[in-house]
Structure 1
Amino acid sequence: MKPIPSTDTESAIALPLFTERVSCGFPSPAADYIDEAIDLVKSLIPHPSATYVLRVSGDSMRDAAIVPESMLLVDSSLRAGDGDIVVARLSSGFTVKRLRLHPAPHLMPENPAYSPIPLHESDDVQILGVVTTVITLPQRSAPHKQK
């Protein structure tokens, strides 16, 4: 894994933040006002110098809403705890899994088709960071052609 340096970490972009939540079930009346502006960089990246982005391949974390082509914001300054989704380096390569410390340390996939990876003190395992944000772009359907 080779990081590509960021271009400008000091840029701030304030986007409108609406106070009303949008329903994914039945429609609700929309509010016509903006409560405040939100800087996504400040909100999503509290430690810019320790944060990097990875793109996902594979489906072992699909039940945690991490699917192929998702982008992960990973903070290497955070200490990983039980239940955190982490990026780990194993002797076989890099992986993203949920860290479980009990009853014994292991990396847990979020897809029943995959098995947990037990962590032993003798293993060459390094936790490289904690996943703080998952960015998954919606699938866009092809435009419907009219006849």
Structure 2
Amino acid sequence: MKVISIYIEAGITGFESPAAEYTELGLSLDELLIKHPNATFIGLANGDSMKDVGIFDGDLLVVDRSEATVHGDIIVANYNGNFVCKIIDKKRKELISASADHRPVPISEADTFQIEGVVICSVRLHRKSKRLTTCLH
């Protein structure tokens, strides 16, 4: 995949095609977004609990299993059989949502809990893809 550097403005001026004078950059999205290809997976965000950090329902999450988890990271975890995306509070042993609508969830010894990886970035799709939805479900 080639990245085309075209600066897009909200207003429309002139009649020249926006693609008339573009340059291609030798960069793939894989190279840009994925540091450890063998340890990275993509998940689909579901719900609104992470909206205050810019993760919305339907966003793609790039998750790296090889990154060391630190306090305050956005993670994907298996919590009692459910995959969740939350902020990890290692000091209080809690999963924190990025929305005032959701309370912190304590992680106790009785819980099944496994961190699956650190969310490196999220990608928002402005037109949903049936193919993508089929692949991720």
The alignment's TM-score, normalised by the length of structure 2, stands at: 0.73
Is 1:41 aligned to 2:30, yes or no? yes
Unaligned runs of 5+ residues in structure 2 are 11-20, 129-137
Separation of aligned partners in 2, 1:89 and 1:53: 15
SS in 2 for 1:63: helix
Q: Counterpart of 1:41 in 2: which secondary structure?
A: helix
Q: Secondary structure of the equivalent of 2:27?
A: strand
Identical-residue share of aligned pairs (%):
31
Per-residue deviation, residues 22-74 of structure 1 (Å, max 9, x unmatched)? 789xxxxxxx7859543221121111111111111111001111111001010
The aligned length equals 121
Q: Structure 2 CA distance, aligned partners of 1:33 and 1:15?
A: 10
Q: Indicate the larger mover: 115-124 or 35-44.
A: 35-44
Partner of residue 115 from structure 1, selected from 97, 103, 125: 103
CA deviation after TM superposition for structure 1 residue 132, in Å: 0.5
| Deviation of the 1:139 alpha carbon | 6.3
SS at match of 1:38: coil
Aligned match of 2:113:
125
Aligned to 2:76: 87
1:58 maps to 47
**Distance in 2 between residues matched to 1:84 and 1:118, nearest whole Å:** 16
The residue type paired with residue 58 of structure 1 is: G
- Taking structure 1 as reference, are residues 14 and 139 closer, same or farther at Cα in structure 2, changes over 3 Å only? closer
Please report the RMSD computed on the Cα atoms of aligned residues, expressed in angstroms.
2.7
TM-score normalised by L of structure 1:
0.69
More helix by share: 2
Maintained 8 Å contact 2:81/2:112: no
